[in-house]
Amino acid sequence: MQEKLEKIKKDFELQMQKVSDVLSLESLEQKFFSRKNGEFTDLMKGLKDLSDEKRKEAGLLLNTLKGELENLLHNKKSELENAQMGDLFQKESIDVTQPYLGNLQKGHLHPSTLIQYQLEDLFASMGFMVWDGPELESDYYNFTALNVPPDHPARDMQDTFYVKGHSDWVMRTQTSSFQVRAMQKFGVPLKLIVPGRVFRNESTDPRHEHTFYQLEGIVVGKDVSFADMKGVLETVAKGLYGEETQMRLRPKFYPFVEPGVNGEITCSLCKGKGCRVCKYTGWMEIFGAGMVHPNVLKEAGVDSNEYQGFAFGFGLSRLVMLKYGIEDVRHLQSGDLRFLSQF
């Protein structure tokens, strides 16, 4: 018996050395301890044929050996499982401190936003507040308060989106709609710009879009003059397109200013020589402006005998097109990556 046990122990230990994974460990366990025909089980079964005394002795030896072998199995099993987990951790682990080395595609600002920020910085450097106005606006602030009464033909200049069921609401056609709101909200004196989206019921073509951007400005004070207006606008034009840029103002009618002007600068592409973009005139129109009409000041509750001011409106989308030589305004709102990735 003793010999048999020694042999089984040796066999077991020998085969254990070859075990390299959980599966082969399980088959080793089966080989020795399977209930049906395990080598060790068979020895146990043989006990019943021994005499009482021998059975007792052999039983003791067998049980001791069983404990030893089971211990070996158990230890090997944990060893294999730990190794397996280690492998897994190694494979799955990430170094969170490692910088990303792949081809990282970052987003960037839209060209309209780039120009808007540049203008905001310019105006802020001259002491202007930057504010935001509502895109859904009352008919009153968009037109009536700006000296355009309901039956005035000037309403025809801007094709308006009216809101169904709310005839007194419109999608603002101009950022000028914030002029009276601004004076009511902040009082005077005042220096403020409002960049933002405006909407017109246009059939679109390369020069017209239903949604585009403007930048409105208003300055009100006790001795604000036309010359101040010219100075501010010239500073902006040079800031945007370079020191050599020249500006000219020509009379134009806008209901909310008197006198009103249209502002042109020397073409940024041909420097005034004349090209396709400026239609060979050497000049490009970039804003409307003028001295705030007394009726507008009155609507805002400002005494026009004491205060004057000027207002101006840049076509922001137009500035973007001129700056980057974009030939079709519809690219700006298209969301087309082939266009956007060029900036």
98 CB-near residues (< 8 Å, 6+ apart):
none
Half-sphere exposure of 156 (CA within 13 A, CB side): 3
In SS3 terms, 122-140 reads as: HHHHCCCEECCCCCEEEHH
- The span from the CA of 332 to the CA of 201, in Å, is 17
289 binds ligand DAH (CB under 6 A): yes
Residue of the chain from 111, 133, 263, 290 that contacts ligand DAH (CB under 6 A): 290
Specify the length of the chain in residues.
343
- Does residue 263 bind ligand DAH (CB under 6 A)? no
With binding defined as CB under 6 A, does residue 174 bind ligand DAH? Answer: yes
Candidates 71-79, 220-228, 254-262, 323-331 — which segment interacts with ligand DAH by CB under 6 A? Answer: 254-262
Q: Kindly state the smallest distance separating residue 143's Cβ from ligand DAH, in Å.
A: 11
Distances (CA, A) of 198 to 171, 213, 248: 7, 6, 26
Q: Is 309 in the site for ligand DAH (CB under 6 A)?
A: no
- Asked if 193 and 311 touch (Cβ cutoff 8 Å), the reply is no
Using CB under 6 A as the binding rule, whether residue 288 contacts ligand DAH is answered as: yes
Nearer to ligand DAH, 25 or 180 (CB): 180
Task: Tell me how far, at minimum, the Cβ of 242 lies from ligand DAH, in Å.
Answer: 24
For residue 313, the cross-strand partners are 216, 288
In sequence order, the β-bridge partners of residue 257 are 292
Residue 257 binds ligand DAH (CB under 6 A): yes
Q: Check residue 133 for interaction with ligand DAH (CB under 6 A).
A: no
Asked if 176 is part of the footprint of ligand DAH (rule: CB under 6 A), the reply reads yes
Binding residues for ligand DAH, per CB under 6 A?
174, 176, 216, 254, 257, 260, 288-290, 311-313
